[in-house]
Amino acid sequence: MKFYNLLIKYRFWLSLLAIAIAVVLNVTGTGFWPVFPLYFLALIGLFSHFFIGPMRLIQGPMEDGNIEEVEKILRSIWFPGLLYKPVRSTYYTVKGNIAMMNQDFDTAEKHLKKSSELGSPMPEAEGANKLQLGMMSLQKGDFKAGESYIRAALRLGIPDKESEAVAYLSMCQIFMNKREFRAAKDYFRRAKALKPKTKQVIDQIKEIEKYISRIPG
């Protein structure tokens, strides 16, 4: 696996080296067909570098929390528009998540929208993307867009119960704001039924519970 990762990391330069060796051998009398395998391997290396990219390499640094290394790998993708569509979607999702960590919400929204437009091979990943866009819309006070994105996230599916609970609580607050209290209570019950364990989500449930039982509907 380590060897494969090294191959991915350096395949562009190895491909150029293979072409250079093939050309030298070709012009010094070896002939085209004997060096054809070098040309072929170089072509595969260059194609995979631009079409698939080094996205596989980000898994380890992401798990280790090494965001600087992740950003370095992303910067090595010179032409993201050439990436295979699902890979390009993942590229923009990661870029968006990093921008969110840096609290650059405008950049995060731009990248996440690009990822959402491209779609994802896994509906749950697209659902998580829509949820992030919905939360950013709510932070900006755009409740209409926030509701639209969060509805889409719930329809597509959200990969973990904590995030799903956040989605239902957000819908609860949206409908409270619209004074549609019956729907708000329904979303609150759904959030609570998921039994989230994250302290932030639990605190939010307790805070809403203080007054939601006193409202009509």
- Alpha-carbon gap, residue 18 to 4, rounded angstroms: 18
Average pLDDT on 167-193 reads: 93
- Alpha-carbon gap, residue 67 to 137, rounded angstroms: 25
pLDDT at 164: 92
Widest pairwise Cα distance in the chain: 90
pLDDT at 42: 92
Check pLDDT > 90 for residue 154.
Answer: yes
Q: Identify which of 1-5, 71-75, 115-119 has the greatest average pLDDT.
A: 71-75
pLDDT at 191: 94
**pLDDT tens track for 2-34:** 777 788 888 999 999 999 998 998 888 788 888
Average pLDDT on 26-43 reads: 87
Check pLDDT > 80 for residue 156.
Answer: yes
Residues contacting 67, CB < 8 A, separation 6+:
61, 98, 101
- Parse the chain into domains and list their residue ranges: 1-51, 54-212
* CA distance between the termini of the chain: 58
Give me the count of residues in the chain: 217
DSSP-H helix ranges across 178-198:
181-193
pLDDT level of residue 121 (50, 70, 90 thresholds): low
Average pLDDT on 137-159 reads: 90
pLDDT at 216: 67
pLDDT at 28: 86
Could you give the count of Cα atoms lying within 13 Å of 161 in the half-sphere of its Cβ? 10
Token pair of 198 as six digits:
């994250």
Q: Which fold has domain 54-212?
A: 1.25.40
| Cβ neighbours, 10 Å, residue 98 | 18
**pLDDT tens track for 98-113:** 888 787 888 888 998 8
